[in-house]
Amino acid sequence: MLETQLAQIAWRDLARRAPIHTEMLRELTEVGLAPELAAEAVAALPAGMEITSARRLTIASIAQRVLVTGDRWLQEGGRIALVGPTGVGKSATLAKLAVRWVLLHGPRDLALIAGDSLRMGAQGELHSLGQLLGAPVYPLEDFGELRELIGRLDRRRLILIDTPGSSQRDAQLASRLAALAAAGPQLETALVLAASTQAGAVEEAVARFAPAHPASCVLTKVDEAASLGGALSVLMRSRLPISYVSEGQRVPEDLRPARALELVTSAVQLARTSGAAADEDLLKRRFGELAHALA
Ligand X SMILES: Nc1nc2c(ncn2[C@@H]2O[C@H](COP(=O)(O)OP(=O)(O)OP(=O)(O)O)[C@@H](O)[C@H]2O)c(=O)[nH]1
Residues in contact with ligand X by the rule CB under 6 A? 86-92, 116, 119, 122, 165, 220-221, 223-224, 246-249, 254
**Toward Mg ion, which CB reaches closer, 133 or 264?**
133
Pick between residue 91 and residue 233 the one whose CB is nearest to ligand X. Answer: 91
Q: Residue 240 — φ and ψ, nearest 5°?
A: -95, 115
- C-alpha to C-alpha distance for 102 and 11, rounded to whole angstroms: 56
Q: Is residue 243 a contact point for Mg ion (CB under 5 A)?
A: no
* 244 strand-pairing partners: 218, 257
Closer of 59 and 94 to ligand X (Cβ) = 94
Residues 114-143 that bind Mg ion (CB under 5 A): none
By CB under 5 A, residue 166 contacts Mg ion:
no
Strand order through the sheet with 242-246 = 137-139, 110-114, 158-162, 78-83, 187-194, 216-220, 242-246, 255-257
Residue 236 beta carbon to ligand X: minimum distance, rounded to whole angstroms: 21
The partner in contact with residue 92, picked from Mg ion, ligand X, none with C-beta cut-offs of 5 to 8 angstroms by kind, is ligand X
Nearest approach, Cβ of residue 91 and Mg ion (Å): 3
Minimum separation from the CB atom of position 116 to Mg ion (A): 5
Residue 22 corresponds to which amino acid? T
Minimal distance in Å, beta carbon 150 to ligand X?
20
Counting Cα atoms < 13 Å in the Cβ hemisphere of 33 gives 30
Q: Which is nearer to ligand X, 25 or 245 (CB)?
A: 245
Contacts (CB under 5 A) with Mg ion, residues 68-107: 90-91
Q: Is 279 exposed, middle or buried (0-12, 13-18, 19+ CB in 10 A)?
A: exposed
Q: Tell me the closest approach of the beta carbon of residue 166 to ligand X, in angstroms.
A: 8
* Residue number, 2 or 120, with CB nearest to Mg ion: 120
- CA geometry: angle at 110 spanning 108 and 112, to 5°? 140
DSSP assignment, residue 186?
Answer: T
> Could you say which of ligand X, Mg ion, none residue 27 binds, taking C-beta under 5 to 8 angstroms by partner kind?
none
Q: Are 113 and 180 in contact (CB under 8 A)?
A: no
Closest residue to Mg ion in the complex (CB): 91
Identify the bridge partners of residue 242 per DSSP, sorted by sequence position.
Answer: 68, 217
Minimum distance of ligand X from residue 82's CB (angstroms): 8
**Which one, 32 or 115, has the nearer CB to Mg ion?**
115
Can you tell me the distance from the alpha carbon of 96 to that of 254, in angstroms, rounded to the nearest whole number? 8
Q: Using an 8 Å Cβ cutoff, are 226 and 196 in contact? A: yes
Under 8 Å between Cβ of 37 and 236: yes
The residue ranges that bind Mg ion (CB under 5 A) are 90-91
